[in-house]
């Protein structure tokens, strides 16, 4: 069981690396943008109980003019996580009106329930429905001092924009 879980984690990491590194190298980008940042700097984490793990701390991210709201569901999730790292006061703009009313003391960043600093993240799956407009985006996250984890974002369109309507935390982290 442990080997199977380890294999899945390694396979998922390999898939993320292939998407982030090889597609841009072939002239194809997994993101639709005008400009793309191509700088990738891996960080190696060594623990006695696990083999070397490569954590990508900078990945190809879509860039857009400052102040422009993302056009797709995945872009909203990336913007939300980026705001967590650099502009926590700006996080609420990516939440639905109903979800904004549920923001706990401490701000929208508390909805993620991270126990330490967010070191990196990567979208691992995205399912989007056009009618009715809804999406589920799963993100692998690396938080300082903890094992790798995920967050599942549920989105819907509100006033013509994608907004986050819920964030699911794995049961082991509640």
Report the CATH number that the domain containing residue 133 is assigned in CATH: 3.10.450.50
CA 112 to chain centroid: 11
Distance CA 160, CA 164 (A): 13
Same domain for 102 and 172, yes or no, is yes
Query: What is the model's pLDDT at position 146?
Result: 86
Same domain for 51 and 83, yes or no, is no
Same domain for 83 and 110, yes or no, is yes
Q: What is the count of structural domains for the chain?
A: 2
Is the predicted pLDDT of residue 83 greater than 50, yes or no?
yes
Q: Give tens-digit pLDDT for 25-60.
A: 445 444 444 444 444 444 445 445 544 454 444 444
Same domain for 53 and 82, yes or no, is no
Residue that wins the pLDDT comparison between 15 and 71: 71
Coil, helix or strand for 151? strand
- Among 37, 63, 89, identify where a domain stops: 63
Q: Give tens-digit pLDDT for 111-161.
A: 999 988 999 999 999 999 988 999 999 999 999 988 889 999 999 999 999
The helix (H) or strand (E) run that includes residue 101 is none
Q: Which domain holds residue 46?
A: 1-63
């Amino acid at each position: 069981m442990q080997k199977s879980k380890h294999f899945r984690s390694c396979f998922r990491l390999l898939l993320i690396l292939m998407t982030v590194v090889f597609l841009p190298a072939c002239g194809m980008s997994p993101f639709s943008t005008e400009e793309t940042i191509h700088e990738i700097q891996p960080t190696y984490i060594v623990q006695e109980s696990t083999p070397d793990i490569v954590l990508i701390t900078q990945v190809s991210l879509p860039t857009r003019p400052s102040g422009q709201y993302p056009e797709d569901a995945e872009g909203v999730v990336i913007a939300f996580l980026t705001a967590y790292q650099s502009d926590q006061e700006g996080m609420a703009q990516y939440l639905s009106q109903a979800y904004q009313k549920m923001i706990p003391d401490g701000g929208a960043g508390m909805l993620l329930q991270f126990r330490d600093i967010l070191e990196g993240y990567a979208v691992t799956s995205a399912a989007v429905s056009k009618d009715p407009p809804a999406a589920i985006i799963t993100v692998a996250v690396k938080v300082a001092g903890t094992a790798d984890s995920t967050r599942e974002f549920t989105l819907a369109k509100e006033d013509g924009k994608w907004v986050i309507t819920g964030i699911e935390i794995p049961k082991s982290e509640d």
